Amino acid sequence: MSKDPKYQELINLVREANLLASCGSLLGWDERTYLPSKGSEFRGEQVGLIARLSHQMNTNPRVGELLANVEGRLMPAVDLPEQANIREIRRSYDRATKLPARLVEEMAKITTQAQGAWSQARQENDYPAFKPWLDKILVLKREETQAIGFKNHPYDALLDEYEPGCSSTEIREIFAGLVKELTPLLKRIQGASAKPRTEILHRSFPIEAQKEFGRKTAAKIGFDFEAGRLDTTTHPFCSGIGPGDCRITTRYNANFFNESFFGTLHEAGHGIYEQNLPAADFGTPLGSYCSLGIHESQSRLWENQIGRSRPFWEHFYPQAKELFSSLSDVPLEDFFFAINEVKPSLIRVEADEVTYNLHIALRFELEMDLLKGDLSTADLPETWNQKFQSYFGIQPPDSKTGCLQDIHWSMGGIGYFPTYTLGNLYAAQFMVQARKVMPLLDREISQGEFGSLKQWLVTHVHSHGRRYTPDVLCRKITGQALTHKPFLEYLNEKFSHLYRLM
Amino acid sequence: MSKDPKYQELINLVREANLLASCGSLLGWDERTYLPSKGSEFRGEQVGLIARLSHQMNTNPRVGELLANVEGRLMPAVDLPEQANIREIRRSYDRATKLPARLVEEMAKITTQAQGAWSQARQENDYPAFKPWLDKILVLKREETQAIGFKNHPYDALLDEYEPGCSSTEIREIFAGLVKELTPLLKRIQGASAKPRTEILHRSFPIEAQKEFGRKTAAKIGFDFEAGRLDTTTHPFCSGIGPGDCRITTRYNANFFNESFFGTLHEAGHGIYEQNLPAADFGTPLGSYCSLGIHESQSRLWENQIGRSRPFWEHFYPQAKELFSSLSDVPLEDFFFAINEVKPSLIRVEADEVTYNLHIALRFELEMDLLKGDLSTADLPETWNQKFQSYFGIQPPDSKTGCLQDIHWSMGGIGYFPTYTLGNLYAAQFMVQARKVMPLLDREISQGEFGSLKQWLVTHVHSHGRRYTPDVLCRKITGQALTHKPFLEYLNEKFSHLYRLM
């Protein structure tokens, strides 16, 4: 099939559009790391041009002609990797061409302005200043759901962009199961007499030592520094530019251990995925990540399942003690308990493994209702607070720490939040399977050997690119569809032990 | 004129091509500063795509139609800035469309390979390994001169790309005048009994202190760090990405003061020019530098005319002594003499102000003859050495320090070298004028005040962009055409004093 001239022409067109888009990725990385302040307006023009040109390439009618041609001839064949390319190119082409150019431009314009408005509104704790922007965005997103089409809930049309094949019905069920068990677990933890000594994480951690430790750890778990970089930024991210070039970022806090360290592990997890996508397939679906949920599974797996595990720290804690004299009097047990503290808190990005998904459940419910019009933006702050009270037993004192805390809605990213929870669930389900086939894994990890886990992920997740939908991939790896059970079992076991819940 | 719809359409097309090319500039900067090693092959693909797309935009037949339209209607009007845009867009459009696509591609391919071959040949001191590549490049460059057209010498067709309106006859005359006076000046200096203590420049200069000093000095003379950056690289350069974003680079040698310091001043000079081009005209000739010779005048002016002057060091030397304890016992006089040492040497980039232009004269003569076929590549090393002997009284022991030292020919940059000398001459001629209108300039400089000189350059050079050809610009600023006299007077006065030639 790969020698079919029409198929090749199609691949060349799509690859070129993505090659151009990858130049935009570098511009974006630079914008958030090294761009001089006076250059930001001009950078906006550069990024806008690249986005416009690659959109033109992606919606080139020739792509449509070639797709129709190869689908008619090649799709009935046996299951070949190239068919996944055709399936996924069709998917993106349809999404891209269904949206009117006017809507795309309007969305780009409004979300750029809305991000500025959000940033200021959050700073000034002024939800009413952001509300009109959220209204505009909701109007545009509803129009988008109409253009894309959906069966049950308009939310499905948005979710599908981030998590192909996933529906709001599934997400609703997943959260129902999660919330039902997380809430009592949280109560038990809050009632436990064992408490971690968290002040030890707020001692002095010199930034240069943090840099060395983060870099060393990221390299150890498999992030390749000859094919990537680690730089400093305000809002950490991972950007896979292309083969041999993946960039992760972090931020440092000289008086808090967790911020940079777990952030680096998280981004390194994303980075290892990007670095091990098949390079020869760059620019086509086969060379791209499967879904945002699967991407997030790789970051959460290294950050939490591994990075917050006991075997991991058996290996790394002696090194940490050498680098940070503030830990010299702290036993491993205390440190390990402290980095795993569970405590309801207002801010999602600071949440622990137990409460994190409650933050997501809340956002999912609210954005479903906002999109459908069942909740008005005028009522958002109050509804947010009520729900917060019921999930966490506390309430945000203001909208800065409430419904204004996240950038996502201002960017038009409605439907994005659930992928964070999906990532947590996939990671747990994958790890159950990994431990099944590698019974000595925890011992390896406690000896600082991460090679077999990494290789297992490369083989079963990374190397497939977008060949399978996330659902099919999950079944192939674990033998069953995604469920919340392995994640809850993981939490129950880990935190029962830590908090001595008997 | 700027409201003419056809003129506006033309400007929009040209601006968009240059906006895209500016994305390529950032990719190029990143390639030479932060790109992970395994990313270089992919980077080549990105850069190639951007170059191809912006070439397509630049040779868009619509540009030709619009040019013909506005030239017929708008050019007979009075002298307006927009006419310079039309004149220069015509110039680039003609150059771009005269070259067959096959030749452009062949040139890109061959020069990429030739740079690799050159780099290895230089390392292994193996001219015969590079010779076939130089032959190929000469064949292509001759084809280019035929396609572009020329009146007298094929060299003119190449020179004109870098220095619009300048001919090889003028360059030949300039070098004749220069060489005639530089050779005896050099002899007198070599015969002088006064000698600088150059070992003081080879003491210990900790890199962190060099970084601080270079950054501070660049900022002081007018490089805006909110609209630019200074990073580390192997081969220093300046890249003006666009309005508000100009990046300069340098390299550090912990045991040699000059390398990073004067390199930084040089690139900052280029950078100040880029930062003060009219931002509103970005992407059009009015927002672009005048010529490579004028660009080089700005770097040489700050590096040599100012940076190697006595008043400059009256201000900066006390700071240097504070930062570098190795200078604590060195009087200003000795330091000032040392940084101005004159001595024939093999390597162009390490040459002093007196011998530098002899290096260029030699290259100019050789590349004229190579291009016309009067000199065969087989005879190049010997002819190089003979000429070197006659100019400098010494001979390179090998081709690594002889005809293989520069990257230019392997890049196809024949006709580029003379712009370095033009830069030196423009800088001297401009400074004579600057001192005429600002009689207190040297006193200001000795007090660390660089604002009036910078502002004078902005007003008379930078703000015009490419409105005037270099010749016209020089006459406007200094009242006369470029001559080698002010430069020779500057050298004679400075070095007679330093070396006590009476």
Q: Nearest CA to CA, how far is B17 from chain A (Å)?
A: 10
Q: How far apart are the two ends of chain B, measured CA to CA in Å?
A: 59
Cα A500 to Cα A193: distance, rounded to the nearest angstrom? 8
Average pLDDT along chain A: 96
Residue B97 has φ and ψ, to the nearest 5°, of -85, -20
What is the length of chain A? 502
Residues in chain A whose Cβ is within 8 Å of chain B: 16, 19-20, 22-24, 26-27, 30, 34-43, 45-46, 49-50, 53, 224-229, 241-245, 282
Kindly list the distances between the CA atom of residue A36 and the CA atoms of A132, A271, B219, B244, B339, in Å, as whole numbers in the listed order.
Answer: 31, 26, 14, 7, 32
Q: Which residues on adjacent β-strands are paired with residue B240?
A: B246
Residues of chain B contacting A244 with CB distance shorter than 8 Å:
36-42
Of chain B, the percentage scoring pLDDT greater than 90 comes to 95
Kindly list the distances between the CA atom of residue B154 and the CA atoms of B59, B105, B145, B406, in Å, as whole numbers in the listed order.
Answer: 24, 21, 6, 22
Long-range contacts of A351-356 (CB under 8 A, 24+ apart): A353/A304, A353/A308, A353/A424, A353/A491, A353/A494, A354/A182, A354/A185, A354/A186, A354/A189, A354/A491, A354/A495, A355/A182, A355/A186, A355/A392, A356/A420, A356/A421, A356/A424
Its sign, for the CA torsion B199, B204, B208, B212, is negative
> Can you give the pLDDT at residue A270?
98
Give CA angle at B266 (B260, B267), nearest 5°: 90
Residue A73's contacts (CB-CB under 8 Å, 6 or more residues apart) are A4, A6
DSSP A251: -
DSSP B292: H
DSSP A297-358: HHHHIIIIIITTSHHHHHHHHHHHHHH-GGGTT--HHHHHHHTT-----S-GGG--TTTHHH
The answer to whether B314 is a known ligand-binding residue is no
Q: Which helix (H) or strand (E) holds B229?
A: strand B228-232
Residue A287 exposure: Cα atoms within 13 Å on the Cβ side: 18
Catalogue the active-site residues of B.
267
Residues of chain A contacting B232 with CB distance shorter than 8 Å:
none
Q: Nearest CA to CA, how far is B346 from chain A (Å)?
A: 36
Q: Where would I find the H helices in A222-286?
A: 257-275
CB atoms A19 and B245 under 8 Å: no
Of chain B, the percentage scoring pLDDT greater than 70 comes to 99
The domain spans of chain A are 1-98, 154-502
Q: Which helix (H) or strand (E) holds A242?
A: strand A238-242
Tokens of B473: 């610009």
The answer to whether B266 is a known ligand-binding residue is yes
CB A347 within 8 Å of CB A484: no
Q: Where would I find the H helices in A39-80?
A: 40-58, 61-74
Residues in chain B whose Cβ is within 8 Å of chain A: 16, 19-20, 22-24, 26-27, 30, 34-43, 45-46, 49-50, 53, 224-229, 241-245, 282
As a whole number, mean pLDDT of residues A156-172 equals 96
Cα B51 to Cα B23: distance, rounded to the nearest angstrom? 10
Q: Which of A88, A267, A303, A353 is catalytic?
A: A267
pLDDT digits (tens, 9 = 90+) for B355-411: 999 999 999 999 999 999 999 999 999 999 999 999 999 999 999 999 999 999 999
Q: Which residues on adjacent β-strands are paired with residue A238?
A: A248
CATH class as words, domain A154-502: mainly alpha
- Position B258 confidence tier, pLDDT thresholds 50, 70, 90: very high
Name the residue type at position B108.
A
Helix, strand or coil, per DSSP, at residue B92: helix
> Can you give the pLDDT at residue A237?
96
The answer to whether A315 is a known ligand-binding residue is no
Kindly list the distances between the CA atom of residue A433 and the CA atoms of A251, A429, A436, A475, A476, in Å, as whole numbers in the listed order.
Answer: 33, 7, 5, 11, 11
pLDDT at A79 over 80: no
> Can you give the pLDDT at residue A296?
98
> Can you give the pLDDT at residue A77?
65
pLDDT digits (tens, 9 = 90+) for A35-59: 999 999 999 999 999 999 999 999 9
> Can you give the pLDDT at residue A108?
87
Task: Supply the ipTM of this predicted assembly.
Answer: 0.94
Residues of chain B contacting A282 with CB distance shorter than 8 Å:
42
CB A152 within 8 Å of CB A169: yes
pLDDT at A495 over 80: yes
What's the Rg (C-alpha) of chain A?
23
Name the pairing type of β-strands B238-242 and B245-250.
Answer: antiparallel
> Can you give the pLDDT at residue A1?
66
- Position B3 confidence tier, pLDDT thresholds 50, 70, 90: confident
- Position A75 confidence tier, pLDDT thresholds 50, 70, 90: confident
By Cβ distance, the residue of B26, B36, B45 closest to A227 is B36
Of chain A, the percentage scoring pLDDT greater than 90 comes to 95
pLDDT digits (tens, 9 = 90+) for B276-335: 999 999 999 999 999 999 999 999 999 999 999 999 999 999 999 999 999 999 999 999
pLDDT digits (tens, 9 = 90+) for A411-442: 999 999 999 999 999 999 999 999 999 999 99
CB atoms B38 and A226 under 8 Å: yes
Picking from B302, B310, B305, B299, the residue whose alpha carbon sits closest to that of residue B274 is B299
Cα B202 to Cα B385: distance, rounded to the nearest angstrom? 29
CB atoms B228 and A34 under 8 Å: no
Q: Which of A283-297, B18-32, B104-118 has the lowest mean pLDDT?
A: B104-118
Selected for mutation to probe chain A from B45, B52, B229, B277 (highest A CB count within 10 Å) is B45
> Can you give the pLDDT at residue A303?
98
Q: At what angle do helices A155-162 and A168-191 cross, to 10 degrees?
A: 80
CB A286 within 8 Å of CB A81: yes
> Can you give the pLDDT at residue A65?
97
pLDDT at A30 over 80: yes
Cα A469 to Cα A291: distance, rounded to the nearest angstrom? 8
CB atoms A49 and B282 under 8 Å: no
Cα A345 to Cα A349: distance, rounded to the nearest angstrom? 10
Residues of chain B contacting A53 with CB distance shorter than 8 Å:
20, 53
pLDDT at B56 over 80: yes
> Can you give the pLDDT at residue B112?
87
pLDDT at A502 over 80: no
CB atoms A43 and B245 under 8 Å: yes
Kindly list the distances between the CA atom of residue A218 and the CA atoms of A33, A315, A423, A440, in Å, as whole numbers in the listed order.
Answer: 19, 14, 20, 22
pLDDT at A323 over 90: yes
> Can you give the pLDDT at residue B77?
64
DSSP B467: S
Q: Where would I find the H helices in A393-484?
A: 418-437, 441-446, 451-460, 470-478
Q: Which residues on adjacent β-strands are paired with residue B229?
A: B247
Q: Which residues on adjacent β-strands are paired with residue A247?
A: A229, A239
CB atoms B229 and A34 under 8 Å: yes
Q: How far apart are the two ends of chain A, measured CA to CA in Å?
A: 59
pLDDT digits (tens, 9 = 90+) for A431-486: 999 999 999 999 999 999 999 999 999 999 999 999 999 999 999 999 999 999 99
> Can you give the pLDDT at residue A247?
98
Cα A430 to Cα A460: distance, rounded to the nearest angstrom? 10
